[in-house]
Chains A and B, each alone.
Chain A
């Protein structure tokens, strides 16, 4: 369990740095790399998904320290016809889908090759 948390921490950190320095598209790549390396051992897709979510939430938290993210969510959500909470939720869900799905697929490929 402790190891799993450690993995999530490391993976989150990597995702966080890659997102800031390289871009959002690194999230599925990191997920895929993780899934491939774990070859289905444990729950690589879940770990990747949680880590990606955590990384983006941390980054959003940093952004929130610099400006009113909550009211922006309401404004932008209003403009898009959805509650602001939907946009915030999307920041949690979207990287999770990218990383989790990529990890799951990569794990399958790794197992097939093995």
Chain B
């Protein structure tokens, strides 16, 4: 055999052997980021099965523990109407449906809270996992689950819900596995009440993890305590509070802003730098991301003479949505419709036959840091308290990778206050109401069968965290705004944005505000109630410390403005107000921009500022997609902030970042003080800038930037629809599964405000009329199904973007749902003995 022939015969063996070896290995095992190809590509049970999955369940489903048959009818929006004979069975059905339609979402959310993402994503998720575990969410959820009395009403309902989730997981065949699990080569885990607690902690983290402590310390270092106190905004400058004061317009605090101290010394020293940055995590830039609204109108101000309620909680917009819509009916016990959280039983925002309710986040300060003294910073065993060394509790944390491989271990320590965090500069522990025990789900499970506003308030009295602005209305015409939750009482009534001395128990919280001091307004004379994350109470009426850094009250001002002007509100008006493109913010700033140019000599102002003012003068102040002036306004206002707050620049920071940007209400009030020293730019020692000079310079800077970014004004590139877009990402941020660049109405400070990147916004819009028969409308961006190939994955997106609402059918019985409006049904029975 010659060499060539030998080579051919070797290749005849090696080539197929190699191909077969690689194909078999890749078939059974992951090759790099690829899932095992054998199961993945399988034409009927592999990834393709996702497209063929049944849209809605049908026939009979067996769930262990079900005591009586449950009928589930889907309406033509794929909303399940669950007709059960007891509450636990209803929650079994809800758990089953959550798992059936949102299994991956359930697991991703709770894995994130537990710090277990590395098991799916490998080492790249370790830092995120470590941060989550250091927060103590899983630790706290474990304690809650361990303390749960399985015979209590709450315990039974959480277990029933878990039974439902597990019934679907156990019944799943290979073809039922959601797409995401296939891409990640993962399998779902069974559910239990611990995971519901994890979910609840994660939501609380989203809503109540706010601590301006470090920001305040930095501010004091930059501008001194007096100015810092004013800038941090313990008291807003424009007061349109959640609890109405009886005024018919906002109260403006015209006191001059204290001048910045010339060269203040560090007050809190290095310890302050060890605090986690407020806003270090993307989901916690509060002012940008808190934009929920809710309001209620009493019958005397509505066209039909019935109470009206609207709610649009703003959260991260994702596909699938954070919400799942459902209607639960249990004779004599429950008849509630609304949005549920996949991961928990109950209806969080919604209505029943008598009452409707919605929430916005209060943003109260419920978290404090304490500088602790340890026996050994590197290997601590004890911490000092009142001169006595107390043993630290410790827990070993293990982090695993995708194949169960141990990636890292860590030790977390706990003082009596909560989790301890350490770095080279020191140690501090955290006390956070969210981690406290007794923060259960009971109030949310109880409020849904309230028969009146009074019932609802009674149920919510027991709510502890996260503190919410709860608006409620009933069929008798009562309306109320209630802000229940655990408000810490700090020693000496101090504010909570300083670092406390952990070596003494006198720094500890001294209890919580009694329920009688929770902010509450019931049937106010003005006939409506509004919350939009603004400062809850005007300090002129109640000086209690509730928090700091309140978002500017633009949305609250706008809603109040609309409601004050409308004495015959209709449900459709409520819908229009939810997507109103007008802005109280523009009304505050635009006149000052225009008058700064008008009052100056054209020769001094220059042509660019005049042109910018001319363009802005054409604007009606509405943030609608085809508007071409809003982009200029935003850029000019941004430049105005840059030029005004030079005192707050981080020393030596080449990117020109500030230690904090004060609320826009502070800037708006400052506009009324043209000689304030804050207008002077410290960087130009030879010149003392005036207010108008700063505004004119900002007009020029904004105009130039607009041309640089979007072209000449006449070229069509300034359309707000190009800038004000919603970007609704899939949970794993895959673009192909997302809905991006969706033009929407609204801009910063408007009622339908979106975050700058369009990823955070109105996650659910609802309007309820509480007449003899309750009528309701609602929409959320997305759809009921988590399956991207389902027609119910994002079927509601366009309606949401257009500002529309769907009527929400609210049948008393399954038969009441007209046949033409149903999409399917199934029955749940217990497993056969």
Contact = CB atoms under 8 A, between A and B. Distances in A.
A74 B37 CA distance: 17
A67 interface: yes
Contact of A105 (B16, B48, B735): B16
Contact of A76 (B13, B27, B179, B735): B179
Contacts of A104: 12, 16
B43 A59 contact: yes
Contact of B23 (A59, A60, A97): A97
A72 B20 contact: no
A100 B23 CA distance: 11
Chain A: number of interface residues, binned into ranges? 35 or more
Contacts of B24: 28, 98
B736 A74 contact: yes
A101 B22 CA distance: 11
A93 B626 CA distance: 49
Given A67-B51, A79-B183, A97-B23, A59 B44 contact: yes
Contact of B51 (A19, A72, A91): A72
Contacts of A97: 19-20, 23
A101 B17 CA distance: 7
Interface in A65-84: 66-69, 71-72, 74-80
Interface centre among A68, A76, A77, A78 (most CB of B within 10 A): A76
Interface in B775-793: 788-789
A66 B55 CA distance: 11
A78 B20 CA distance: 28
B243 to A, nearest CB: 47
B41 interface: yes
B737 A72 contact: no
A101 B19 contact: yes
A78 B16 contact: no
A43 interface: no
B51 A68 contact: yes
Contact of A78 (B33, B42, B736, B789): B736
A10 interface: no
Interface string B36-58: 01110111101111111100000
A14 to B, nearest CB: 15
A45 interface: yes
A80 B17 contact: no
Given A67-B52, A79-B734, A97-B23, A25 B38 contact: yes
Contacts of A19: 42-44
B8 to A, nearest CB: 12
Contact of A108 (B12, B179, B736): B12
A24 B41 contact: yes
Interface string A38-82: 000000010000000000110110111011110110111111100
B37 A94 contact: yes
B568 interface: no
Interface of B is mostly: helix
Given A72-B48, A104-B12, A63 B732 contact: no
Interface centre among A56, A66, A67 (most CB of B within 10 A): A67
Contacts of A85: none
A75 B794 CA distance: 14
Given A67-B51, A78-B736, A108 B43 contact: no
Interface residues of B, number: 37
B28 to A, nearest CB: 8
Nearest to B175: A63
B789 A68 contact: yes
A65 to B, nearest CB: 8
Interface centre among A28, A57, A72 (most CB of B within 10 A): A72
Contacts of A80: 33-34, 183
B737 A79 contact: yes
Contacts of B735: 78
Contacts of A102: 16, 20
Contact of B789 (A62, A72, A101): A72
Contacts of A108: 12-13, 16
A104 B20 CA distance: 10
Contacts of B46: 24
A79 B730 CA distance: 10
Contact of B736 (A24, A25, A75): A75
Interface string A83-114: 00001001100100110111011001000000
A100 B17 CA distance: 11
A91 B33 CA distance: 18
Contacts of B12: 104, 108
A87 B737 contact: no
Contacts of B43: 19, 56-57, 59-60, 62-63, 91
Contacts of A91: 41, 43, 48
A18 to B, nearest CB: 12
A45 B27 CA distance: 19
A71 B787 CA distance: 12
B633 to A, nearest CB: 36
Contact of B47 (A71, A74, A87, A98): A87
Contacts of A63: 43-44, 48-49, 51-52
Contacts of A60: 43, 48
B48 A69 contact: yes
Interface string B277-307: 0000000000000000000000000000000
Contacts of B15: 101
Contact of A64 (B50, B51, B53, B737): B51
A104 B16 CA distance: 7
A25 B183 CA distance: 20
Contacts of B51: 63-64, 66-69, 71-72
Contact of B37 (A59, A67, A90): A90
Nearest to B42: A24
Interface in B366-402: none
A101 B23 contact: yes
17 contacts: A19-B43, A24-B42, A28-B20, A45-B16, A60-B48, A63-B51, A69-B51, A72-B50, A74-B736, A76-B736, A80-B33, A87-B41, A90-B41, A94-B23, A97-B20, A98-B27, A101-B15
Q: Which 4 A-B pairs have the closest CB atoms?
A: A78-B736, A67-B51, A59-B43, A66-B52
Interface of B: 12-13, 15-17, 19-20, 23-24, 27-28, 33-34, 37-39, 41-44, 46-53, 179, 183, 732, 734-737, 788-789
Given A94-B27, A104-B16, 5 more contacts: A25-B28, A67-B50, A72-B50, A87-B41, A108-B16
